[in-house]
Structure 1
């Protein structure tokens, strides 16, 4: 990603994240006009996603993890926050640092530097904790242990994990994510991070809480998600499909191809892209072993009538 520092409306850029980065960079310049600020206010008001994206950029700018990661990752002189560079250099400095930081976030490097346990793409790992509970990390996952004194728990920095928690009513087990917490005494469940935190319960009871203080109690066979707006309603979940990855399988029933490919891409050593929106809406059903993701792509192409184009070992395109 590359952001231009010259005057250009951030609203004309592609993704919400790119726009948020550009707005943040522009607003660092002391020469920002009232018109710029009015346009920024209009952009924020246009969608809740805009405010969330901008807040994420602001948190990144203030993050100590970004400073540490950038200093280890690249020879980029970081602007010292206690020293103010000339106004005309603010936008360029902010763009360089934030764009670099966004790339680090996208690659998961910051999370991995903060983590106590990680898995690579396609890898799974089971860890037994000190209290006898166990956590299984799914593909491309990073988590930090959060057991201090009488407190039991972990923080999922990115990815997905399955928990088998040993009962202890005096010491609840707490899983933290960016969007909220999952609190349990003893049960089996999974937590998946992303735009929202997805929670599926296999057995027992869990309490999911959002950052605003709202919460919901889930029991076996139930699902919810936690986002900035709070905890969503409870829905039933097919545990056979939800936990299929524990057995090295990907199971889906009458789902859009785009959703299936997005899930498969988490296990694939490279990017899988669908170029046709109509193709992405094709409904597919399947039950596959995850050990050969390229074979699954070919099978899905046969089912949906798509062509597979391998542009490189790390880029596969599905075309209608």
Structure 2
């Protein structure tokens, strides 16, 4: 994927095999080098790009979708499996969930990025999960 930008503020995130482009200000022109597909995003829009190419453009919720730029993660009824996947990006070790029933628990919250282990501890507490901590390894059971 190629991007063409001018006087623009945008962010690119990669998670679970997909890139997500989020535009805060200006316009971003994207082109796929595989099939020459093109998309233009404007301020307040985002798009996911995966193995099958571009997804559908979507509207951003800046208070939620761009919170990570200000050092926060905001979730609204998000499955715990997705929350943990996001936290793994910021934790220097491993975060493992051995309890599949926890994976679908809906999480709503606003968390600081600089303390991902504290977020995992909090999530374990509110879900009554057992938490085992080791150097560079956290396990939810």
- Runs of 4+ in structure 1 off by over 3 angstroms are none
Compute the RMSD of aligned alpha carbons: 1.4
Q: Structure 1 residue 227: deviation in Å?
A: 2.5
Q: Indicate the residue corresponding to 2:130 in structure 1.
A: 307
Task: Give distance in 1, aligned partners of 2:66 and 2:136.
Answer: 27
Q: Indicate the residue corresponding to 1:249 in structure 2.
A: 72
> 1:282 aligned to 2:105?
yes
Q: 2:40 aligns with which of 206, 217, 221?
A: 217
1:66-99 CA-to-partner distances (Å, cap 9, x unmatched) read: xxxxxxxxxxxxxxxxxxxxxxxxxxxxxxxxxx
Q: Indicate the residue corresponding to 2:13 in structure 1.
A: 192
Q: Indicate the residue corresponding to 1:183 in structure 2.
A: 4
Higher Rg: 1
Q: Indicate the residue corresponding to 1:298 in structure 2.
A: 121
> Whose strand proportion is higher, 1 or 2?
2
Task: Give distance in 2, aligned partners of 1:304 and 1:228.
Answer: 34
Task: Give distance in 1, aligned partners of 2:56 and 2:101.
Answer: 30
1:141-180 to structure 2, matched below 5 A, reads 180=1
Higher relative contact order (CA 8 A, sep 6+): 2
Q: Indicate the residue corresponding to 2:29 in structure 1.
A: 207
Q: Indicate the residue corresponding to 1:129 in structure 2.
A: none
1:184-220 CA-to-partner distances (Å, cap 9, x unmatched) read: 1221110123512210111211112212110111112
Are the equivalent residues in 2 in contact too, given 1:210–1:227 (CA < 8 A)? Answer: no
- Over 3 Å counting, the alpha-carbon distance change for 1:304 and 1:208 in structure 2 is farther
Q: Indicate the residue corresponding to 1:65 in structure 2.
A: none
Question: What are structure 2's unaligned runs of at least 5 residues?
Answer: none
Task: Give distance in 1, aligned partners of 2:8 and 2:31.
Answer: 17
Task: Give distance in 2, aligned partners of 1:225 and 1:262.
Answer: 16
Q: Indicate the residue corresponding to 1:268 in structure 2.
A: 91
Q: What count of residue pairs does the alignment treat as equivalent? A: 139
Q: Structure 1 residue 266: deviation in Å?
A: 0.9
Are the equivalent residues in 2 in contact too, given 1:275–1:317 (CA < 8 A)? Answer: yes
Q: Structure 1 residue 274: deviation in Å?
A: 0.7
1:90-105 to structure 2, matched below 5 A, reads none
Q: Indicate the residue corresponding to 1:3 in structure 2.
A: none
Are the equivalent residues in 2 in contact too, given 1:210–1:228 (CA < 8 A)? Answer: no
